Amino acid sequence: MESRGPVRGRGDADLAVETSEDDETVEYLADEDVVRYVAGWVAPDASSRGQDGPRERVPRYETTPRERWVETQCLTAAARAAAEHVSAELEQSGETISGGMTADVEGVERAAVVARETVLDRSGRVVSEPSAGFSALVEETPATVSVCYRLGGSVYERRVPVYARSDVVRLE
């Protein structure tokens, strides 16, 4: 048993999703055309540590080009919507069908993907597997999801191609 895909979805479902940036720590900096976001939390200095560990942590900000941020948010929204659609159509739980991003599509830096996961034990026996096969996943995965993303006062619309993938994971 091997992983398969990613393969472009063949479903004809007309999915559209709207999403707005509601994270108050995300900020568009127009002068630099970048988005600033919290990349992690750190202790400000050694004096902020108490007996039981850090008392106070402060955000560590990073920036990314606006277009890259918008692409990431649109890919994420499209993958989530496609996975929810496929799970409902194939009557699968959210634990066996998931949505995410992949860098495994030839000629595309990043793509939205709907994945099914089969888990094998150390001996190669199936521990869990979706009842729907890979071909059904490909047929139900929408070829494209329309996304409308709002960041600050701007609206970005994208038609996001979606791919299907079957992952096989072996427990060690």
Could you list the pLDDT tens digit for every one of the 172 residues in the chain?
789 999 999 999 999 999 999 999 999 999 999 999 999 999 877 665 556 665 688 999 999 999 999 999 999 999 999 999 999 999 987 678 999 999 999 999 999 999 999 999 999 999 998 999 999 999 999 999 999 999 989 999 999 999 999 999 999 8
**117 with 169: CB under 8 angstroms?**
yes
Name the DSSP class of 79: H
Q: Which two tokens stand for residue 38?
A: 């919290």
User: Residue written as tokens 């096989």?
Assistant: 168
Entry pTM: 0.87
Q: Which two tokens stand for residue 113?
A: 């993907």
Query: How far is Cα 96 from Cα 46, in angstroms, rounded to an integer?
Result: 44
**146 with 13: CB under 8 angstroms?**
no
User: Residue written as tokens 């606006």?
Assistant: 66
Query: How far is Cα 87 from Cα 82, in angstroms, rounded to an integer?
Result: 9
User: Residue written as tokens 């071909």?
Assistant: 135
Q: Which two tokens stand for residue 118?
A: 């089969």
**116 with 139: CB under 8 angstroms?**
no
Query: How far is Cα 7 from Cα 1, in angstroms, rounded to an integer?
Result: 17
